[in-house]
Every structure is written in C-alpha cells, then in structure tokens.
C-alpha cells in the first residue's frame, strides 16, 4: 500500500510550513507528499470572485508556492528520504513539474474531463517512464471508461483513485463500495485502484483500506483551525499515523476464511484458563 500526504494549499504558500509538513508526513508514515501547481488567474477565470469577503483570485494566489520554493521543497524531500509528486492543472504546471522528475504525475477530479490535459500528462508519463494517477471524482461509469481507453493507448502504469469531490465529504457519502466495481472492472495489468479521501477524520479511509487497493491519498495539515477552504478534509500527523497503523491491522484480517479452528485457538482452549 502506498500512502500519500497531500499538502494541498495547507502550507499557506509558505516554504517553511511546507517543509514542516513534509517532515511530519515522513514521521507519520507517508511514502509520498503531493503538491499542486496551477496558474490561478487562468484556472479560476470563470469562478466566483469573492470568498469570505476577499477577492478570491488574490486569496488563492497567495496560497501557491513559487517555483523556486518548489525546487527547494523537492531537494528537502530527497534530503529526508520521502517521495513527492504533483497534481498538474494546466500545461504550464506540467512543463515545470516534469523538469523536476517526480515519481508520478496526477490529474485531479476537477480536471478529469479535460481529456487534452490527460493526454498531455500521459505523454509525459510515457516519456519519463513513470506512472499516471487520476482521481475519478464526478465521473460516471461511461466517462471512466472513456478515460481508461485513452490511458491504454499510452501503455503506462496507472492508479485509478476512487474519490467523492465534496470537501469535506459527509459521513456515509464516500461511496466506498464503488471501489469493488473498480477493482473487478479494471484492476489488472497496468491498472491499480486506490482511494483519495476528503472525509473528516478517516473512517471512510479505513473502509477503503480493507479492500484490495494499492494507494490511499489524504489531505494533510498541521492545524485544522486554519481559515482556508477545504481545511476540514485534512487530517493531522497523529491521525495519519493512526490511520496507517489501523489499516495495517485490518488488512492482516483480510484473508480467506478457514473452515476449522486455528492451531493457536486449540492450544488456548486446551489450557483451560479462560473464563
């Protein structure tokens, strides 16, 4: 299982906070940290211009890391021994990220209908011989199948992440059992299934971890009281570690059932010390 701590915008556009998050993610058992890069002015040109009384574009731009900060962040990841990759939201971000040689390239749920971006990203994955990740939030079965057909043309390894694009996702709405369909339909050859969760805390992530998935990605934060959007989807370092350790215990139980009592059980019963 691969565990990903998504920094999202919870670093507030500050390199020192990003580094602290990376260090905490490493200590919490994350295999990778994930950032996101986008041209805010272009990406949100059709979006609302205000958030909590602030100009949304200015507010959102303030939460982006600068390119030089990202380069230093990548060096820091190498220094402490944790992997990294980025979500790309546009070609400009893709062109920059590929120069830093990440372990994966990802397209997010909000962009999974942008088939041109998917094709461009897949082309980079193929050239650099690294896997492609796509979150399937907002996709129906027909739309997912269309993406799969495109991915197959590039012959790259791919992680399909089940996702519900509600931030935070209310209890009972993470649709975890849809993962069973994705596994049965697609998990073979180059394709592996995972989960990108946005629920508060990590109950749905535990449910996903019981299934035969290969990646869990969660928003990660050092403080849940930061006044930015989506913060309630983030989990603390202690919660990330608890989630990973609990899933490891759960997965030890996910073996084929046996028809007889175990050797250990028979030994215990023969001791006759139970009450």
Q: What is the pLDDT of residues 163-217, one digit of tens each?
A: 999 999 999 999 999 999 999 999 999 999 999 999 999 999 999 999 999 999 9
pLDDT-based confidence at residue 42 (cuts at 50, 70, 90) = confident
pLDDT-based confidence at residue 253 (cuts at 50, 70, 90) = confident
* Distance in angstroms (rounded) separating the CA atoms of residues 204 and 171: 8
Whether the per-residue pLDDT at 274 is higher than 60: the answer is no
CA angle centred on 74, ends 69 and 75, rounded to 5°: 100
Determine the pLDDT at residue 232: 93
Q: In 3D, which of 34, 37, 158, 154 has the Cα closest to residue 102?
A: 34
| pLDDT, average across residues 258-271 | 74
pLDDT tens track for 100-142? 999 999 999 989 999 999 999 999 999 999 999 999 999 999 9
Domain ranges, residue 263? 2-271
* Distance in angstroms (rounded) separating the CA atoms of residues 263 and 98: 54
- For the domain that residue 83 is a member of, what is the CATH number? 3.20.20.70
Share of the chain above pLDDT 90, in %: 78
Whether the per-residue pLDDT at 264 is higher than 80: the answer is no
Domain count for the chain: 1
């Amino acid at each position: 299982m691969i565990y990903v701590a998504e920094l999202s915008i919870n670093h507030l556009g500050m390199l020192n906070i990003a580094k602290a998050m990376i260090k905490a993610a490493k200590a919490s058992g994350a295999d990778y940290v994930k950032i996101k890069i986008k041209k805010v002015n272009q990406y949100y040109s059709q979006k609302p211009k205000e958030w909590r009384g602030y100009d949304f574009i200015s507010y959102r731009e303030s939460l982006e890391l600068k390119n030089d900060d990202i380069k230093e962040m990548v060096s820091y990841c190498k220094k402490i021994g944790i992997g990294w990759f980025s979500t790309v939201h546009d070609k400009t971000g893709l062109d920059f990220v590929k120069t830093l040689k990440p372990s994966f390239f990802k397209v997010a749920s909000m962009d999974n209908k942008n088939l041109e971006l998917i094709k461009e990203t897949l082309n980079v994955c193929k050239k650099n011989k690294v896997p492609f990740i796509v979150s399937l939030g907002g996709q129906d079965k027909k739309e997912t199948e269309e993406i799969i057909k495109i991915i197959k043309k590039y012959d790259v390894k791919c992680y399909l992440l089940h996702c519900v694009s509600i931030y935070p996702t209310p209890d009972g709405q993470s649709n975890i059992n849809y993962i069973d369909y994705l596994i049965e339909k697609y998990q073979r050859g180059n394709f592996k299934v995972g989960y990108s969760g946005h629920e508060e805390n990590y109950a749905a992530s535990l449910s996903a971890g019981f299934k035969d998935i290969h990646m869990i990605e969660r928003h990660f934060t050092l403080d849940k009281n930061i006044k930015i959007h989506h913060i309630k989807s983030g989990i603390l370092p202690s919660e990330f570690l608890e989630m990973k350790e609990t899933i490891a215990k759960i997965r030890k139980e996910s073996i084929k059932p046996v028809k007889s009592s175990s050797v250990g059980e028979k030994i215990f019963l023969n001791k006759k010390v139970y009450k």
